[in-house]
Amino acid sequence: MASSTLQNMFSNFLIFAATFSLLVNYCFCFYPKLLNASLAASGSDWSPAGATWYGSPTGAGSDGGACGYGSTVEQAPFSALVSAGGPSLFKSGKGCGACYEVKCTTNSACSGNPVTVVITDECPECVSESVHFDLSGTAFGAMANSGHADQLRNAGVLKIQYRKVECNYPGTTVAFHVDSGSNPNYFATLIEYENGDGDLASVDLKQALDTASWQPMQQSWGAVWKLDAGSTLRAPFSIRLTSLDSGNTLVAAGVIPAGWEPGKTYRSVVNFNG
């Protein structure tokens, strides 16, 4: 009788030990995999888009395009890594200056490495996808493996991934290029090289250093903002910028001097993010 009881106790112990072992293995092997998969899914901030390219294979697309940057798109810091944007990117000109990372993996020539591009032009017909980049030939080729830029450009149309990123122009301050049509009663300026959001929600102008009131400027076209005062404007002008996404503000005090001239570029001493 005692022997039978001992055998039963031993059998029960073996069953308990086996069950406990299964539970331990289940807890410590299965759940972390689920957690890692969940984290991987939630950590991705890339979205799908379409991509084409235009202009010279190694150029900057157009000569400045609908944002008004002119030949500066070919020069540092833009360095031809630019793009025309479909309507959802161009935003009727409010998207000018925004920075995005783009990458491709759908073609054997794709490197899968991100390339940062700036919106400098408009592609109104780019509506086949909700988001479409019409990249410069330089930017399109930059998504390729080394030595395969022409092969990738030959694909013509790609499905890519993109995400908005902060613009970062080390050592560069915001510049104001005075529109050639400006006069003592009308002032318009192209604004470029903004760090951070890159694109602007609003721009305000303050006349003379001893004036306290800010006057709102209107977006003329692209990255050009204007103030039609209807009376003689008194320089120097300070200009206040408000970023489109973050709402951050920046004041370029006295950036447009007395005696300013149409067609000239005036460099501030400030930029967003320092």
Helix H, strand E, coil C: the string for the chain is CHHHHHHHHHHHHHHHHHHHHHHHHHHHHHHHHHHHHHHHHHCCCCEEEEEEEECCCCCCCCCCHHHCCHHHHHCCCCCCCEEEECHHHHHHHCCCCCEEEEECCCCCCECCCCEEEEEEEECCCCCCCCCEEEEEHHHHHHCECCCCHHHHHHHCCEEEEEEEECECCCCCCCEEEECCCCECCEEEEEEECCCECCCEEEEEEEECCCCCCCEECEEEECCEEEEECCCCCCCCEEEEEEECCCCCEEEEEEEECCCCCCCCEEECCCCCCC
The pLDDT score that the predictor gives to residue 128 is 85
Give the whole-angstrom CA distance, residue 122 versus residue 128.
15
Structure tokens at 157: 């149309």
pLDDT band at 211 (very low <50, low <70, confident <90, very high): confident
The pLDDT score that the predictor gives to residue 59 is 86
Q: Which of 63-67, 70-74, 152-156 has the lowest mean pLDDT?
A: 63-67
The pLDDT score that the predictor gives to residue 210 is 73
pLDDT of residue 193 exceeding 90, the answer is yes
CB 270 within 8 A of CB 176: no
Q: Which of 17-31, 83-97, 239-253 has the lowest mean pLDDT?
A: 17-31
90 versus 17: the higher-pLDDT residue is 90
The pLDDT score that the predictor gives to residue 65 is 86
pTM: 0.82
The pLDDT score that the predictor gives to residue 28 is 30
pLDDT band at 15 (very low <50, low <70, confident <90, very high): very low
pLDDT of residue 151 exceeding 70, the answer is yes
CATH number attached to the domain at 47-165: 2.40.40.10
Q: Which of 18-32, 77-91, 153-167, 183-197 has the lowest mean pLDDT?
A: 18-32
Structure tokens at 253: 């005090």
The pLDDT score that the predictor gives to residue 42 is 34
Q: Tell me how far CA of residue 94 lies from CA of 21, 108, 218, in angstroms.
A: 61, 35, 11
pLDDT of residue 27 exceeding 60, the answer is no
Mean pLDDT for the stretch of residues 160-181: 96
Give the whole-angstrom CA distance, residue 250 versus residue 244.
12
The pLDDT score that the predictor gives to residue 253 is 95
Mean pLDDT for the stretch of residues 239-247: 95
Q: Which of 30-44, 61-75, 82-96, 177-191 has the lowest mean pLDDT?
A: 30-44
β-sheet with 224-228: strand ranges across: 218-221, 224-228, 186-192, 175-178, 265-267
The pLDDT score that the predictor gives to residue 216 is 97
Close Cβ partners of 213 (under 8 Å, ≥ 6 residues apart): 206
pLDDT of residue 29 exceeding 60, the answer is no
5 versus 272: the higher-pLDDT residue is 272
Question: With 0-12 CB in 10 A as exposed, 13-18 as middle and 19+ as buried, what is 174?
Answer: buried
pLDDT of residue 49 exceeding 90, the answer is yes
Q: Which CATH superfamily is domain 175-267 in?
A: Expansin, cellulose-binding-like domain (2.60.40.760)
Residues found in the chain:
274
Comparing C-alpha atoms, which of 110, 129, 118 is closest to residue 168? Answer: 118
CB 200 within 8 A of CB 244: yes
pLDDT band at 22 (very low <50, low <70, confident <90, very high): very low
pLDDT band at 230 (very low <50, low <70, confident <90, very high): confident
Model confidence pLDDT, tens digit, residues 106-130 = 999 999 999 999 999 999 999 989 9
